[in-house]
């Protein structure tokens, strides 16, 4: 068993959490046992993830999307009460790492996605270094080929807007709900911008600028950072770490 505080301190150092301005608390969100031998990782602290952690006698649930967001009501009622009650009943520590886990150049969602797709990560830029630029391999240089590679790796077909015949080399990406960064990607000279979600406006921007827009799934693009963090903790502390996945279509 490892003291909880050692694990949290290690995460803070690794991910440099103090450097980020976030709209969710990074680190411990709900306190459980003092020591940890088993960690369940998940994208989101959903009720299903909490129940999984409880059923597997984990002392920590480690997630990318925690329970507390600046935009949400400050009260603990309804579904939020149920999630917190379950955590407290089983003495499970809930720890969340949001933007620091998107941006980390090796363990982060952006870096891990690139690694799985074979994209070279050439530069990080923009808002808190959340945008990434790189080169597409030749085998993904058209939109249909890129879409096929994404479907194979992520297990889900992406939504793609753009001319299928054009040759594309330069990809800019940001995992999750980062459709608002499309203009920044266009300004940075992208041939393709990829993120997890699409809104109505991006369709028109893609058609009018010629820069393709790919929405590959918020959950699907953010599955890998938390697993990499879990693996790093398992290697460093010898704690057991298992990933809980959900079939989230968004
Ligand atoms: Zn996200």
CATH (one of 1.10.10.10, 3.40.1390.30, 3.40.50.300, 1.10.357.10) for 104-219: 3.40.1390.30
Q: Calculate how far, in angstroms, residue 1's C-alpha sits from the geometric centre of ligand 1.
A: 30
Q: Break the chain into its structural domains and give their ranges.
A: 2-99, 104-219
Residue 102 marked ligand-binding: yes
Q: Calculate how far, in angstroms, residue 72's C-alpha sits from the geometric centre of ligand 1.
A: 15
Residue 222 marked ligand-binding: yes
- Going residue by residue through the chain, which has 250 residues, state the pLDDT in tens, using 9 for 90 and above: 999 999 999 999 999 999 999 999 999 999 999 999 999 999 999 999 999 999 999 999 999 999 999 999 999 999 999 999 999 999 999 999 999 999 999 999 999 999 999 999 999 999 999 999 999 999 999 999 999 999 999 999 999 999 999 999 999 999 999 999 999 999 999 999 999 999 999 999 999 999 999 999 999 999 999 999 999 999 999 999 999 999 999 9
Beta strands in the chain (DSSP E): 2-3, 27-30, 35-36, 38-44, 60-65, 93-96, 120-125, 131-135, 159-161, 170-173, 192-195, 212-215, 240-243
- For the chain, give me the number of helices (H) and strands (E)? 10, 13
- Asked whether the domain spanning 104-219 has the same topology as the one spanning 2-99, the reply is yes
Residue 10 marked ligand-binding: no
Residue 65 marked ligand-binding: yes
* CATH no. for 2-99: 3.40.1390.30
- Listed residues: CB within 5 A of ion ligand 1: 176, 222
Q: How many CA atoms lie within 13 A of 240 on its CB side?
A: 9
Q: Calculate how far, in angstroms, residue 234's C-alpha sits from the geometric centre of ligand 1.
A: 23
Residue 90 marked ligand-binding: no
pLDDT tens, position by position, 58-109: 999 999 999 999 999 999 999 999 999 999 999 999 999 999 999 999 999 9
């Amino acid at each position: 068993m490892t003291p909880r505080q050692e694990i949290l301190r290690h995460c803070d150092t690794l991910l440099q959490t103090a450097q980020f301005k976030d709209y969710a608390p990074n680190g411990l969100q709900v306190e459980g046992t003092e020591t940890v031998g088993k960690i369940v990782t998940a994208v989101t602290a959903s009720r299903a993830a909490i129940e999984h952690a409880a059923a597997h006698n984990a002392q920590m649930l480690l997630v990318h999307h925690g329970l507390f967001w600046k935009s949400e009501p400050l009260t603990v009622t309804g579904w939020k009460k149920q999630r917190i009650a379950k955590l407290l009943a089983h003495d499970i520590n809930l720890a969340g790492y949001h933007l620091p886990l998107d941006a980390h150049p090796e363990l982060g969602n952006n870096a891990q996605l690139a690694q799985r797709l074979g994209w070279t990560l050439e530069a990080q830029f923009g808002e808190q270094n959340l945008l990434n630029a790189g080169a597409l391999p030749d085998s993904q240089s058209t939109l249909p080929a890129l879409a096929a590679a994404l479907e194979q790796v992520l297990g889900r077909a992406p939504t793609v807007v753009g001319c299928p015949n054009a040759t594309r080399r330069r990809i800019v990406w940001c995992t999750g709900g980062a459709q608002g960064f499309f203009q920044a990607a266009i300004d940075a000279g992208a041939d393709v911008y990829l993120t997890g979600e699409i809104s109505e406006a991006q369709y028109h921007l893609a058609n009018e600028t010629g820069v393709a827009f790919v929405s590959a799934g918020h959950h699907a693009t953010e599955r890998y950072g938390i697993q990499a963090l879990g693996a790093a903790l398992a290697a460093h502390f010898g704690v057991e770490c298992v990933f809980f996945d959900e079939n989230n279509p968004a």
